[in-house]
Structure formats: C-alpha cells, structure tokens
Structure 1
Amino acid sequence: MVTEKPIGATMTDTIQKVQAGLVFLGTKSFDIAAITCGIADTLDRLGERVDERRCVSDTQAILCARHLVCRVRIAEGHPLPRLDDTPAHIVELRVEKQAGAGATAETLIAYLLTTLQASLAPDYVQWTDPRAVLTRAEFRAAVANTAAMPAPMRPKPAAPRPRRNRLPDVEAAYAQLRAKMPGFGKGGAEEARIDALRAAFRDPDPAEATAMAQPDDIREPTAPLRLSVWMMTVTLGLFALPVAVALAIINLLRGENMRLAAHTTALTGMFMVLATHGQIAQAAQLVGVLGG
C-alpha cells in the first residue's frame, strides 16, 4: 500500500509510503541493532547512503538517508489473513521516500525484505497489500536465484562495466503485483500471487553475482556474544599474544565466533600446562601412537 502526500516547500514534491513485514508464529528474541545494520548495508548497496541510524528502543529503530526514512518496529502479533493463529511477533518495515529520487519505495522494501528474511527466517512474509501473506517457503521459491542485489548506483572511479538495469523492471512488476493482490481470493489466485512476486525480480547478471559472492560468515548473531568473543581474545592475549593476534584477525575477517574462541582458549591453556611440566614431547608421542 503506497500513499503520496505533498512535502517540502513546493506542492510538486511528494513522498511515497510503503509498509510490509516479517511474521513469526512462535516467540523469538531479536537484535534490533543487527537488524538495523543489515538494513543499512542493503540500502547502501542500493545506492541510498544512510546518514543516520538510531535504535530508539529494544523494539524500534530509524534510518535516515538523503531522500528516505526507514522505520523498523518489532510489534506484537495481530490477526492476519490466511493465518488461523495469531502470530507472536511481526517485524514491521516502513519506508517513506521522496518520489522521483532514484528507486521507488516499493523497490527498496522488496530488497530489504529479501535480505532480512534470509537472516531472520520468518514463518510468513506480509507484502505491501495487507492481504498478501506468503509462507516463507513460497517467498523463497519466488525469489530464489532471482533477487540479486544491484551494485551501488553511485559513480565509481573505475571504468563502467556493462550490466543490466534491473530496477525499472522491478518497479513495473510491482505495479502488476499491486493490481493482482486484491483478487487473490478468487480461483487460481494462489499461483497468481507467486507469479507476481517472482516477476518482481529479474535474473542476476552472472558477472555481478560472482563479484558479490561473500565468504561464509561465522559471526555470532547478537552483540553481547560478539563482545564476549573480543573479551576472550583480549584475555588470551595476556598469556599467549601470538595466538590472540591470530584469533583477532579471524574475528575481523570472518566474524566473531564463540565456539572458535572457546576452543582456541582451551587448546592454548592445555599446551601452556604441558609446557610448564615439560610434557609436550610425551603428549605428541601419545597422539602419534593413538593416530597410528
């Protein structure tokens, strides 16, 4: 649902508002800071540089860019079409964007939901039409291998590389999506919903898909766990500085992982004890015997 109203100093300027959400049937804990960072990264890749991001509370956050404002709210569930049970939580996402400045609000929220559903794993996705509620499986089937994130639209110093312009097609497809959603209760509407959603994304450019491939991220999902990993790394540095430096490099490149930090600390402590009692050679010999 998109609305427009006059803003600014002139009557010709308008602002688009669109809202969607991720639906969770069971209770779940959320990290509003991690969600906010994920949204900011996605907007940046879409060419909308975030100038301000602020967590208002444990359940609300706001992100501001030059031409848009994005609001996130973790709300208690309420009855939704197609669902027999009332969900426990709904992560509501609202984009308010100045019309005519880059991609539309619908395009942006499409990519934001695509990114968030991959990390949060909701049970359902509610699109801009309140009646359009898709299961996670339906959503993933619709956007699998088709929802590639476009490269940043800001100019680059390197020579431009030819690529397909996907955003206009996404915007046109969303106009069709809005037109089809109101009648989804009629015959054949379930398939029409999925077809309309699938049409909102084009196949990615193979060269861009390769360039955007990211290494496996082992980062812990919450800020307290990541902070704990760094505390363990600093503590380890008091006893075995080279090991702590190696662990810190892994934290920076791959992400903070509690299991890796705990195993590293335990092994370091074991070898320190063996070294103190002069038992490293005997331990190595025992390992060789057991391995043989």
Structure 2
Amino acid sequence: MTRENWYHGGLVYLGMTEGAIERFCRIAASTLQDYGHLVDRQSVLNIEQARIVTSQYIVKLSVETAPYAGRVVAPERMGKHPSKSMHRLEFSLMPVAPGEEDRDITELLMVVMLYRMVDAYPVQQIEWMNPETILSVEQFLGAFANVTPRRVHSRAHFQGPKSNRFTPVDEMESDLSQQAEIIESDTVFVDQIGIALIGEEESLALAFRDDMADLITPATPEQKAETNIRRLATWGMTGMLVFLSAPVALSMAAINLAKGEDFRLNTHVLALTAFVASSSGSGLLANAMSYLPI
C-alpha cells in the first residue's frame, strides 16, 4: 500500500478512454457483489473518475485520458497493436474500518478485479500494491497461478469464522479437474464448434471470468438516459435550495461535486430545508424554541 490503509492497484491498457471508466466501475462493483459486499453507491463522477461505496470498502477509480508515457516493462507486447495509444487506470480500495479488515480477503478482491479487467481489455502491464511495482501480464498471472478464489453467494458464508477463503489445493484435489491442468500447462479446450489450443494467459482469464454476460457490456442508451435524468433532477433540487437557504445549497453542490450526485440525499435535504424555512416564516419554529430550556 502506498498510502496508509489504502490498497493500490493499476494497469496500463491499449484502447480508447471513452466509456472505459464505466466499464471498469462495473467490473469492480460486480466483483464486490460476488463476494458478498452489497454496493450502497456506484457513482461515475466524470469521464475520468468513479467511486464505489459498500458497507466495508470504498473504491476509487481513475482513468488518465492523456496517453501513458511512463515505464513499460514489456515493450514487445506493443507490436501487436502499434496504432493504439496506451492509457493508465489507477484504483484504490480502502476499508471502512482500517485495521479490522481481513488482508487476505482484501488482496483477493484486488486480484479478481485485475483478472477480470485483464479479460476485458488488452492490458499491457499491471501495478500491484505500489505504483513502482510494475508487472507484466505474464508475471501477474504466474504470481497468482495457485490462487483459485471461488464465488461466494452469501454474506454469512463469506464472513463465517471457519470459512476457508483460500482453500488448500490438497483439499480441493478431487474437484480440480481441468482447472489444475490449465494452470500448469497449455490445455486443449473442447466446445461444440471444435478443438482449440489455449495458453496459460487465456486459460486463467477464462477461470476468473464472471458468469454474468452483461458485466463488460456497455450501458444501453436507456440506462444512460435514466442516469442523466436522475443527475439533472438532483441538480435541479440543489438549485431550488438556493431560494430557501444559500449556505445549504452551496454545501449540497460541494457534496455533489465531491461524491457524486445522490438523488435520495438531495430529496431529504430539500424537504427538511423547506420545512425549516416554512416553520421559521410562520413563527412556529420560534414558538417551539421558546419552550426549550435554553
């Protein structure tokens, strides 16, 4: 961790930045949900930044729109896509209660997020726990070849005191059929179309792939329109607060800019401010205050 209580992750990928932050945000949110963490808020702040809030973790994601010009550990991979520019994604995961989190589980979440991102984008290199620790994709896959995290379907099962987050391979030997062979060497993958030889990198990407097909599917126009309408309504309520209380309106505008538009919070603040303003104008608030022992 580069900062106290923050777990750092990052990658450099080939491709455009348009829609990238939404896609990475959905991958991170889906990983948290798969491992029993209910996502309370998932906000795309702008084309470069996004934030995810759960009861146990806060995740911040940032995509650099400028082409990446830093150190490259595997320049030979660039030969496959010479015309595409590289961009850098940085994300940080912070426990809500620092020091009380399970470090193994937190690192497991980071690993699965990065595996799914590697599967979704042509990633060139990966930053692990520190911006200075840069690994090639092959080095990252090899470092975690023996880790096979399983999806957890319930929060109780995930947080049970006797649950085995990293089940030893010896205990799972009877269940490791094709996956064990995939990790150790190239494996023939058979499907209805035919037989194809897949390598270690592709095999591990398939092993860590999410079952949900819409994980990496871009948002539909209807979903984008609904999000835009909600954001517009949120700012409209913030504007109405100006006529009731300018300080409250400024505070809500700052919150919207810093943490993303929260429709529910703005609704509650608008209703409470309107009630206080009407009570103060009618003298009801002054009468109520007179009964208090102040």
TM-score, normalised to structure 1's length?
0.48
Greater relative contact order (CA < 8 Å, ≥ 6 in sequence)? 2
The alignment's TM-score, normalised by the length of structure 2, stands at: 0.48
